[in-house]
Amino acid sequence: MSATQESRAIEVEVLEIDGVVPVVKPEPSAETRPPWQNWQGRVRQLDSRWWPLWLFLGIIFVVLALTVGVVLGVIFVIFALIRRFLRMLLR
């Protein structure tokens, strides 16, 4: 029996001695709550134990974003050169 259950049991005993019947509100368990409610407090604050993983994933994301940017830039430059070359030939 945990401390909260003991304190409730003591409270119930005292209230029953005084003649007052307590209204016990059942607390919703993790199984009865929707899954997204279990993550509400955790979404705003990341656990500090996971910072190496987030750092690693962030570095991978930055490298991928830069790679995609460079590839798109090279493709743009190649098409621009081809377009200039074709305009020069067709004049």
pTM for this structure?
Answer: 0.46
CA distance 41 to 35: 12
Which tokens sit at 31? 């199984």
Whether residue 63 is contained in a domain is answered as yes
* Burial of 12 per CB tally in 10 Å (0-12, 13-18, 19+): middle
Structural domain for 73, as ranges = 3-34+47-90
When divided into structural domains, the chain yields a total of: 1
Asked whether residue 42 is domain-assigned, the answer is no
In a domain, 40, yes or no: no
Where helices occur in the chain by DSSP H, the ranges are 3-17, 35-38, 40-44, 51-90
Is position 22 within any domain? yes
> Per-residue pLDDT for 71 more than 90?
yes
Residue 39 lies in a domain: no
Q: Establish if 53 belongs to a structural domain.
A: yes
Q: Which pLDDT tens digit goes with each residue over 6-65?
A: 665 555 555 565 666 667 677 666 566 666 666 666 656 667 788 899 999 999 999 999
Q: Domain for residue 28, yes or no?
A: yes
